[in-house]
Amino acid sequence: MGELSKLPNIGKVVEEQLMQVGINTADELKSTGAKAAWLKIQQIDESACINRLLALEGAIRGVKKTLIPEEVKADLKAFYQCHKK
């Protein structure tokens, strides 16, 4: 496992998916953003769910996904509803 799996919420599978879509470091994930990274993952894994989106946001913030502020969660849930397949 690499650098990404050291971030909160990022396990081996998500790390592998991030790398498949060209995101290889924590800095690349931060500059890409959770929404754009999730959209890239969704292109290779249609089962990408809201939990994966929240996990990415938490990883960027350096916190467990349960600690993401409610207003951010609400925004991410609305984004997910617009983009889920």
Q: Is the pLDDT of residue 15 over 70?
A: yes
Predicted pLDDT at 16: 97
Task: Please state, in angstroms and rounded to a whole number, the distance separating the CA atoms of residues 78 and 74.
Answer: 6
Q: Domain range for residue 70?
A: 4-83
**pTM, 2 dp:** 0.95
How much is the pLDDT for 1? 66
The whole-angstrom separation of Cα 13 and Cα 67 is 22
Q: What is the mean pLDDT of the chain?
A: 96
Q: Are 85 and 42 in contact (CB under 8 A)?
A: yes
Q: pLDDT by residue (tens digit) across 26-54?
A: 999 999 999 999 999 999 999 999 999 99
- Residue 50, domain CATH: 1.10.150.20
Give how many domains the chain has, as a whole number. Answer: 1
Once rounded to an integer, what is the mean pLDDT over residues 9-36? 97
